[in-house]
Amino acid sequence: MRENNYTLEMKNIHKSFGGIHALIDVSLELRHGEILGLVGDNAAGKSTLMKILTGAYQANRGRIFFEGREVHITNPRVSRQVGIEMVYQDFELCPNLNVPANLFLGREITGNFFKALKNRQMENKAVEILGRLKIDIKNSKIKANRLSGGQQQALAIGKAVSFNPKVVIMDEPTASLAVMEIEKVIDLILRFKEQGISIILVTHRLDDIFKVSDRIFVLKHGRRVDVKETSQTNKDEIIKLMF
Amino acid sequence: MKKLSILLLTVVLTTVFVWVGFAAGQKNPAEYKIAWFAPIPHPYFDAVKKGIEAWEKDTGIEVKKVIGQEWTQKNENENVEALAALGYKAFSIYPADPTAANGLYEELVEHGIYVVNFGAKTTEPTPASFYVGTDIRQAALDAAEKLCELLGYRGNILNVLEIIEDVNTIVRDKAIKEVVAKYPDVHIIGEVADIKSVEEGMEKIQNALAAQIEEIDGVICTGFTITVAATIILSEFHETQEKYIRFVGIDDDPSVLKAIREGLIDTTVAQNPWGTGYISVEVCKRLLDGWTPKPDGYSVYAGHVFVTKRNIDTYFDELVNLTMDIGEGLENKNMNPPKE
Amino acid sequence: MHVKKHNRQLTLSERREDFVKVGFLKSLLVHPEAGITIAVVILLIVFSVASPSFLTAYNIFNVARNVASYAFIAIAQALVIVGGGMNLSVGAIGGLAVVTTGYFIDVQGFSPAIAVIIALLVGLAAGAFNGVIITKIGINSFVATLATLFVFTGIVYGITKGYPYINIPKSFTIIGRKGIWGLPYLFWLMVVALGFIFYLFNFRRFGRWLLATGGSKEATRVSGVNVDRIILLSHVLSGLFAAIAGVLWVSRMGSAQPATGQDWLIISFAIAIIGGTALSGGSISALGLLMGSVIIVLIRNGLILLGVNIYFEQTYLGLIILLAVTVDRIRAFYYQRAGI
């Protein structure tokens, strides 16, 4: 294992769909416990880059290192095992499942008895997690489709961070929320940083980025344009880089 | 020399005339282009097919036999039109839809093709030249009469009908009621209908039995599916309950025959599918030979017999005999020979 | 219950109580099967009062057995609906199992136990075939199972030519015809099957993941679940239950009728939907499937017991189903209003 400062490194990533080059030689480094804002125009390749991290896509070329070790993320399960979680713009909850079932989806707690689900234990843990994250959901027995937008986003974030990930990717976490709810989500993000989680924040809302991020990574037409320390740049400069 | 020429010419001409005359009166078997079509694989159609195979053997004439893929008029049209394109000149067809089949027939007849219905009638007026099959009304009359007799002309009947949209169901229902009306001590106390599958039939018949288990003395079924269903229910009933319910069904499905043999049900009306097949293609052949339909000769009834434990092994012979009688009666009742 | 205003931070146990403590009336509102259960109770009372035949041992046995027969078919359908798909070939797979059972007992002379095992394997294989087409080739379940409906039905006819297998030993009919504690074995088998469904969806990862897939395929996939495998497995299970239903019909009929299964499709959807299996996927209830089966059977039974005019039977059936569904809409309305 080689020593370095990065939790995650993506090196020389290429990805094309048919004849279209979505990503060209993109390298990205994520430091321990930092919040990296990822910005770019609509077709800049942000979500493609993130989907390669979560295993939804595979890169045509390039390597990924996690805590200095090379990893091959072939599907979402591997990504989760490595310690990468993603919070999706449209929350990606199962509307028909209740809060604990959503929180534990894909990693349910099972007992020794024929690996039966331990629903009671998952309910208790869910209450605990919600409490710890100060997520305001009174009755966790209710189904996700009966939660408010903010509650759903909080739950989606809770789902991502409650299993001690090293890296959390957030794709437009505030895009569909009301102002009040945005503040809460931003608080949540800052709290994760305190816990030592590295976060990639993908968003159009530069205000939010400047509020929480340590560095800003700019993509344009599938290429890495620049990375700036947030404290040493301003909105105008970033916008210029983006377009 | 001249004499010889005349002699030679006479011989040649005579030979030609004889040949031509022979050819006109007695076609080569390969010249008969007869086709038979049934909508789906089914024991009834299989039995009809066996009758046709027997006829092929007896006459040396081959019949093109085709079975459709689903019981719809559309499927039947496609199959039959394809056969017509192949040059078949006479068809024995089971109409998938009694009314809609007439449309297909009209087109065939316009092209000089003969059509004979087997097994079921098309709605009249129809372009079909003949119907060969069971006299549905008579079979229902006989079945009802038989049940009344089994009941000793006293008792309550459950009347089970098949598909209510079918005109034949109404004919059967009327016939049954006509017979029952003759006997003051026989009553129809229950009716179930609109049955399209054996499973549904079992459920409905059992529901009806449950409703009037004390009162019902006899059951009459006038369709294939419901007879199979009633056989299952009554077999089970007779194995577990004291009461014996009299039964008259229709058709000789193997499961029905088995129950008769085991004494679990009384009797069923065996139609004559073998004879229906045999006669229907014989009629096709005669039409191609130039025979013409007699007025009122449209229906050629193939007859039916009751199958009981007593004649279960010999009833088929009865049907074959019946068939030969009908064949001999064709000239008398249904068709005129070609005019010289 | 109104949402309580909490001014202080709640303790863990208080929070737990908060969502575990849902009152009885409220739980009635929460559960989609509550509406249909109420409708069933109403019908039970009405028929008990209106017809003396309703509560006879014969009728109870009869109703219980029909409920069981339907429940298995409905389970086969619900298992794929819950994952957001459908299986149009349930009846065809059932027919395949019927014919397999009959063929190996009657023609090959195998013992019924082995024939049943083969039939169930055929069901599994048919379900797997559906599942592979849907997940590996990526054809939607409607088209895929529509195609296999024809494939399987064709095989049934190809093997049987439409003839039933009738040499089924008496001992094999015990399961379908006898019972214990006043109810048929079929009914108890159904209880076991529904228990299995309950366990599957409440205590197994597979069940949870299948529910999740029906709720949101994408969310389930990104949660690290192999969605294709779940869908494939659900079709395998569906095939198995369709085959079980088929085998049980052989046992009930005492013969293997090749047309078995042809009318299962609509009933399988009707029961599953009435029983709270949302057509869009994502919900299933063992109790709902039971009540869905009960209500259909009760209505048919009750209508015949009450001597309703047979020609209007379907109309009544439709109206009562509408009534049952309306009761559920009323429940859902109050559920929304209650804000739990």
Domains and CATH numbers, chain B: 6-134+272-303+316-336 (3.40.50.2300), 136-270 (3.40.50.2300)
**pLDDT at A1 > cutoff 50:** no
When pLDDT is averaged across residues C125-137 and rounded to a whole number, the result is 93
CA distance B107 to chain C (A): 30
Nearest chain B residue to C151 by CA distance is B69
Q: Which residues of A touch C (CB under 8 A)?
A: 54, 56, 75-77, 79-80, 86, 88, 91-97, 101, 105-108, 110, 115-117, 119, 123-124, 127-128, 131, 138-142, 159
List chain C residues with CB under 8 Å of B255: 164, 166, 253-255, 257
Predicted TM-score (pTM) of this structure: 0.78
Look at residues B135, B309, B159, B179 and name the one whose alpha carbon lies nearest to residue B230. Answer: B159
Q: Using DSSP bridges, classify how beta strands B292-293 and B335-336 pair: parallel, antiparallel or unpaired.
A: antiparallel
Look at residues B26, B48, B24 and name the one whose alpha carbon lies nearest to residue B37. Answer: B48
Which residues sit opposite B118 in a β-bridge?
A: B132
What strands, in cross-sheet order, belong to the sheet with A167-171?
A84-87, A167-171, A198-202, A35-40, A215-220, A223-229
The answer to whether B336 and B320 have CB atoms below 8 angstroms apart is: no
**Domain presence at residue A137:** no
Chosen from A107, A114, A139 to mutate, greatest number of chain C CBs within 10 A: A139
- The 10s digit of each residue's pLDDT in A46-80 is 888 888 988 888 888 889 988 888 889 888 888 88
**Domain presence at residue A77:** yes
Mean confidence (pLDDT) of chain A: 83
**CB distance B202–C313 less than 8 Å?**
no
**pLDDT at C248 > cutoff 70:** yes
The residue type at A209: I
- Exposure string for A64-98, b = 16+ CB within 10 A, e = fewer: bbbbeeebebeebbebbebbbbbbbbebbbbbbbb
**pLDDT at C5 > cutoff 50:** no
CB count within 10 Å of CB A25 equals 14
The answer to whether B308 and B266 have CB atoms below 8 angstroms apart is: yes
The helix/strand/coil state of B288 is helix
Q: Which of C59, C263, C305 sits opposite B196 (nearest CB)?
A: C263
Mean confidence (pLDDT) of chain B: 87
CA R_g for chain C: 22
Q: Which residue has the tokens 């009344």?
A: B148
What CATH number does residue A16 fall under? 3.40.50.300
**Domain presence at residue A43:** yes
CA distance B41 to chain C (A): 5
Percent of chain C residues past pLDDT 70, beyond the cut: 87
Between A and C, how many CB-CB pairs are < 8 A? 101
A121, with CB counted inside 10 A (0-12, 13-18, 19+), is: middle
Report d(CA C255, CA C263) in Å as an integer: 18
- The 10s digit of each residue's pLDDT in A114-148 is 788 888 888 888 888 888 777 777 777 788 888 87
When pLDDT is averaged across residues C188-209 and rounded to a whole number, the result is 93
Q: Which of C51, C164, C301 sits opposite B254 (nearest CB)?
A: C164
Nearest chain B residue to C254 by CA distance is B232
Q: Which residue has the tokens 């100060």?
A: A134
Q: What is the maximal distance between C-alpha atoms in chain A?
A: 60
**CB contact C293 to B (< 8 Å):** no
DSSP-derived secondary structure for A89-122: TT----TTSBHHHHHTTTS--B-SSTT-B-HHHH
The answer to whether B166 and B156 have CB atoms below 8 angstroms apart is: no
Neighbours of chain A (3+ CB pairs under 8 A): C
Look at residues C47, C55, C260 and name the one whose alpha carbon lies nearest to residue B200. Answer: C260
CATH code of the region C45-335? 1.10.3470
Between B and C, how many CB-CB pairs are < 8 A? 105
Residue B40 tokens read as 């789906």
Q: Which of B42, B203, B212 sits opposite C300 (nearest CB)?
A: B203
Lowest-pLDDT range of B125-139, C39-53, C195-209, C320-334: C320-334
The reported pLDDT for the residue numbered B273 is 92
**Residue-range domain boundaries for chain C:** 45-335
- The 10s digit of each residue's pLDDT in A186-242 is 888 888 888 888 899 888 888 888 888 899 999 888 888 888 888 888 888 888 888
Look at residues C271, C289, C124 and name the one whose alpha carbon lies nearest to residue C193. Answer: C289
Chosen from C27, C208, C230 to mutate, greatest number of chain A CBs within 10 A: C208
**CB contact C309 to B (< 8 Å):** no
Q: Which of C62, C160, C249 sits opposite B207 (nearest CB)?
A: C62
When pLDDT is averaged across residues C89-102 and rounded to a whole number, the result is 94
> Is chain B adjacent to chain A, meaning 3+ CB pairs within 8 angstroms?
no
**Domain presence at residue A1:** yes
Q: Which residue has the higher pLDDT, B64 or C316?
A: B64
- Give residue C333's pLDDT band: very low, low, confident or very high (50, 70, 90): confident
The reported pLDDT for the residue numbered A129 is 81
Q: Which of C59, C162, C262 sits opposite B197 (nearest CB)?
A: C262
**CB distance C311–B212 less than 8 Å?**
no
Nearest chain C residue to A76 by CA distance is C224
The reported pLDDT for the residue numbered A206 is 84
Residues of chain B under the 50 pLDDT cut: 19-24
The domain tally of chain A equals 1
* Cα distance from N-terminal residue to C-terminal residue, chain B: 38
Q: Give, as one character, the DSSP assignment of residue B30.
A: G
Q: Which residue has the higher pLDDT, C189 or A81?
A: C189
**CB distance C53–B206 less than 8 Å?**
no
List chain C residues with CB under 8 Å of A77: 224, 226
CA distance B296 to chain C (A): 34
Q: Which residues of B touch C (CB under 8 A)?
A: 40-43, 45-46, 69, 161, 164, 190-194, 196-200, 202-204, 206-213, 225, 228, 232, 235-236, 239-240, 253-255, 258
When pLDDT is averaged across residues A16-38 and rounded to a whole number, the result is 88
**CB contact C10 to B (< 8 Å):** no
Look at residues B24, B185, B206, B291 and name the one whose alpha carbon lies nearest to residue C58. Answer: B206
Look at residues C84, C80, C125, C75 and name the one whose alpha carbon lies nearest to residue C221. Answer: C84
Nearest chain A residue to C277 by CA distance is A96
Q: Using DSSP bridges, classify how beta strands A61-66 and A6-17 pair: parallel, antiparallel or unpaired.
A: antiparallel
Q: Which residue has the higher pLDDT, C25 or A40?
A: A40
> Is chain C adjacent to chain B, meaning 3+ CB pairs within 8 angstroms?
yes
The answer to whether A97 and C209 have CB atoms below 8 angstroms apart is: no
List chain A residues with CB under 8 Å of C206: none
Report d(CA C197, CA C199) in Å as an integer: 5
Report d(CA C54, CA C47) in Å as an integer: 6
Nearest chain C residue to B202 by CA distance is C253
**pLDDT at A2 > cutoff 70:** no
Report d(CA B199, CA B191) in Å as an integer: 17
Chosen from A47, A53, A105 to mutate, greatest number of chain C CBs within 10 A: A105
Q: Which domain holds residue A28?
A: 1-83+207-243
**CB distance A108–C205 less than 8 Å?**
yes
CA distance B149 to chain C (A): 27
Report d(CA B155, CA B185) in Å as an integer: 6
Mean confidence (pLDDT) of chain C: 83
Chosen from C47, C55, C62, C297 to mutate, greatest number of chain B CBs within 10 A: C62
The reported pLDDT for the residue numbered B340 is 62
The answer to whether C304 and C63 have CB atoms below 8 angstroms apart is: no
